[in-house]
Amino acid sequence: MRINTIIVEDEKSNRENLTKILSEYCPKVNVVAQCSSAIEGKKAIMNFKPELVFLDIEMPGGSGFSLLESIDEIDFEVIFVTAHDHYGIKAVKFCALDYILKPVDILELTHAVEKLEKRLAEKKENIQMKTLLANRHSEPKNIKIALPLTDKIEFIEVTSILRCKGEGNYTHIHLINGEKILVSKTLKEFDELLSEHNFLRVHQSHLINLNEVKSYIKTDGGYIKMKDGSTVNISRQRRNWVVDQLKNIK
């Protein structure tokens, strides 16, 4: 699990030192941006949607506290890193995950990251459990999956998915209503999730809802036409197996 992280600190040497320590001792922490002010920090938070922000408190042009106060919904964890220990109580009021004094102690830092990993795992487990419990009481057609987006977790009914197209570590989810959702998960993961719900992997990059297949076109090497008019190629290696599966559509 990679933890996308932003460092907001006005001293360049401190930013670079923290990045170096994290790279060496906390390899799961992926620093996506280094910011020198609260203004830069807010922009980076809006752009990157991090799980974690290392935040200095005293900075020219706005404090770390003012940065947090300017954000409507704080959906990331915060670890304050400051040279002043008198901010501790206020940091707690801001629900900080941890509070580390400069110079950064490696042991304190690794403990803070471990605490973060545990909290993120609990959040993920809670979401999965809520979905599981909801599905236990649902009709098959109402089964839902959770899609982790940059700014939220979206729950959608499996039957609303038309097809999925993989692109590296991302998957484009095409819904029956025409909506498209980009998710940071591989197509292989969705294949494992959806194969038992009448979805078929017809190509290395394509997973389709068999309930939404309109026709199989034999010409041009063979391809599938979906009910919305879109077409999906079938890989040469899978063609015979896919055609056999299509024959069993009820």
Lowest mean pLDDT segment, chosen from 32-36, 137-141, 242-246: 137-141
Lowest mean pLDDT segment, chosen from 27-36, 132-141, 198-207: 132-141
Both tokens of 181, joined, read: 């959702």
pLDDT digits (tens, 9 = 90+) for 141-198: 668 887 877 777 788 888 999 999 998 888 999 999 999 999 888 888 888 888 888 8
CA distance 7 to 79: 10
CA distance 100 to 115: 13
Contact predicate 6/37, CB 8 Å: no
148 or 104, greater pLDDT: 104
Complete domains list, the chain, with CATH:
3-124 (3.40.50.2300), 141-247 (2.40.50.1020)
C-alpha closest to that of 148 among 24, 12, 5, 1:
1
Which pLDDT band holds residue 105 (cuts at 50, 70, 90)? Answer: very high
Q: Locate tokens 């040279």: which residue?
A: 83
Residue 95, pLDDT > 80, answer no
pLDDT digits (tens, 9 = 90+) for 22-80: 999 999 999 999 999 999 999 999 999 899 999 998 888 888 888 988 888 788 889 99
Lowest mean pLDDT segment, chosen from 33-42, 82-91, 92-101, 148-157: 82-91
Both tokens of 228, joined, read: 């919305």
Distance of CA 35 to the CA centre of its chain: 22
CA distance 181 to 218: 30
Which pLDDT band holds residue 223 (cuts at 50, 70, 90)? Answer: very high
CA distance 232 to 165: 9
Kind of pairing, strands 153-157 and 144-148?
Answer: antiparallel
In terms of residues, how long is the chain? 250
Both tokens of 209, joined, read: 């809802």
C-alpha closest to that of 74 among 49, 54, 43:
49
